[in-house]
Structure 1
Amino acid sequence: MNTLYLSHPDCLDHQTQLGHPERADRLLVVERALEQEIFSGLLRESAPRGDETLALLAHPEDYVRDIYEALPREDIINVADDTVLSPGSWNAAMRALGACSYAVDEVVTRKVDNAFCAIRPPGHHAERDRPMGFCLFNNAAIAARHAQKEHGVDRVAIFDWDVHHGNGTQDIFWADKSVLYASTHEMPLFPGTGAASERGEHDTIVNAPLHAGDGSPAFREALESVILPRIEAFSPDLIIISAGFDAHWRDPLANINLTEADFALATRAILNLADRRCGGRVVSILEGGYDLVGLSRSVAAHVTTLMRG
């Protein structure tokens, strides 16, 4: 299985305050985890640098300009309660967008079977015109729009298994019948959205909320009874995974008790569905995951499975 791994050192330059959970160490532990011998067959490339035209696929011009003009020359500033900008944030974000769009290019044109983008800042909380939840631009939404605009892909499914609901992705695609957004997440929890009753204007929003203390059985039930059937019925041409690993039992920001085996199982299920519906075309994009041990082990399990290990 040809799995493409994309990352770039520029993504380390998005600096956050001491003690902030979304920190550069997250990518460093992912890199170390993927240095194991089992990953010797991974296709590794440096993420190309994207530009603001990619951001404009999901965000208004005024919003993109405001983010750029707010960049500090030194230090760190807040642009939302928990979301910051540092001097290196723009370059990090552009590398993230470059990684996601290039991953789509390579997967859709079948140069590789699937791809994993180890990038930051994450994206799924970024709404059309509002940064939040550590996120500036919505990487997964931009990847979906890029697939449609540049490759003529008709239908894209986004499966978000981050423990926090992807309010931004839901916001962007609420009225769009060409993109299915499906999410498992803890509720109630930040950002407060994600009720099962939130279904979008075309019934293409699929929320399967879990409760604090839930673990593998509840997650797997939501996957098998809600998420997979809806993605299957949608029959997408491409599947994008918003791959947050903060539902791991070690994570400090939530209370869902998943293990690496759960992420491997979900990955395998998506690959099998993709084989049936869209020629196996899957792009995975890193979102959350804030315990470094849990993150590294979960990414290793996820990428091993993408490689059909």
Structure 2
Amino acid sequence: MTSSPREHSGLWVAVASFVLWGLMPLYWHLLKSVPSLQIVAHRVVWSALLVLAWLLWKQGRGWLRAALERPRAAWMLALSGTLIGFNWSLYIWAVNAGHVVESSLGYFINPLLNVVLGVAFLHERLRPVQWVSVALAAVGVVWLTVQFGQPPWIAICLALSFALYGLLRKLLAIDAVAGLGVENLYLLLPALVVVMWGETHGQGGFLPLGGAGWGAGADALLILGGALTALPLIGFAYAVRRVPLSAVGLLQYIAPTLQFLCGVFVFHEAFDTDRLVGFAFIWVGLLIFACEGWWRLRRPAVPVTA
């Protein structure tokens, strides 16, 4: 079966989005001289400006009212905005503190954690093969905990915050870009406070309001970081309407794979045999999970007889 032009374009947009997410450690590493909290604050500010401009252009001034008319939208988007802000903050800190490999582990765990949350909150039932996948991932996390004396907290917090974020957005069922716009509005004022506090207390350096400045290159990277935050999300929203979810589910592993490769081969982070064993359990669980899901979606439907 050949794909339609609509599916073909959606597929390439999805690939581009996941590749961009996967290579983001390289980008944030260029801003290593900027305090992580300032990077996050600028990321929110510039992402908000881009997303809000997009929404005003595409949907007009009534987009916010339409988004918040949904029941529970105001408080759920406030909570999801807090979760994604925490996720961004921890991820940027982890990248610039030399924990890219562990960060990638969080996004490998995330799909399986989504399944667990589906059981806990949406009353979904797991098939036996899915339980095997979750169990293998749990064994991998326990192995890493025993070998290194503590759980991989960065990976667990990244996976949990993003999985809870996804659960809230699924329960609300709002347009991806409009939801991101409301979340950014909630985060915008705190982000502006952080930016201005940094500029007036010796931790800023933008344009150069806070002293010597970080340099024009860092300023440009901070502004562009807002676009690199919003564009993959917009691209993802575009793609999921055109590409089968089974394909999107497999493509999502592009991002943590590229993050992992960046950590090992670009930043030369430690990845010894003990880490390999723990990761291997999780990778095998993911492989079983992905293959079983793909097989069930691709097999022909059984005709119903009277």
Is the pair's TM-score, using the shorter chain for normalization, greater than 0.5?
Answer: no
The structure that is helix-richer by fraction is 2
How high is the TM-score relative to the length of structure 2? 0.27
The structure that is strand-richer by fraction is 1
